[in-house]
Structure 1
């Protein structure tokens, strides 16, 4: 089994409105059930966390580091959640990720495989 990162984010350049608080509340139970299902299969590596829209970007220009504060609307996406799972391959990881109920509310779900260091 390999580890995969499921990134849940939103396209900040989209003309779709953000989900309302009521929609987010409606999505909470299906989301929790989705996570519980991954856990029941013993494929959940770490409990998911929700991330705020703020953040910091550190860059370097002319040998000087610069720190910018978010939100970063010049980028297309904002990370809202991260889930770490185990799967046999990309196909299985995608099958798990595509069941994320937050997709129905305009979220984008991205899957990335962990590459061992060294």
Structure 2
């Protein structure tokens, strides 16, 4: 098995506010999708959400606000899955709830660091 990172991208829109009921529905979709991957014993790391606030360092002395100052697209979170190959990881990503919000999923194989 190879580890793959599923990186969730979305458009930053701080004006969009969800009601508690809407947020619960969204969270349930994510739990169901990730739970399905875990039930197959293919979830290597449950990942985390990333906050909108951040900084980008282009050198030790050049720091800009925000994770992506030049675009509205942001990385909103990630999980790590185990898959036989890229095609299987892509198939897992197809069920991601981020698509219903206009987002995308980047699937990348993880290259282990040499010890």
Query: One fold, TM greater than 0.5?
Result: yes
TM-score, with normalisation over the residues of structure 2? 0.83
2:15 counterpart of 1:21: no
The residue aligned with 2:58 is: 59
What RMSD over aligned residues (CA atoms) do the two structures have, in Å? 2.2
Query: Stretches of 4+ moved more than 6 A in 1?
Result: none
Unaligned runs of 5+ in 1: none
The answer to whether the 8 Å contact 1:6/1:83 transfers is yes
Instruction: State the number of aligned residues.
Output: 112
TM-score (norm 1): 0.81
Is 1:5 aligned with 2:12? no
5+ long unaligned stretches in structure 2: none
1:101 maps to which of 81, 90, 97: 97
Q: Which digits, 9 at most, give the CA deviation of each residue in 1:31-53, with x for residues without a partner?
A: 10111111111111111211111
2:111 is the alignment partner of 1:115: yes
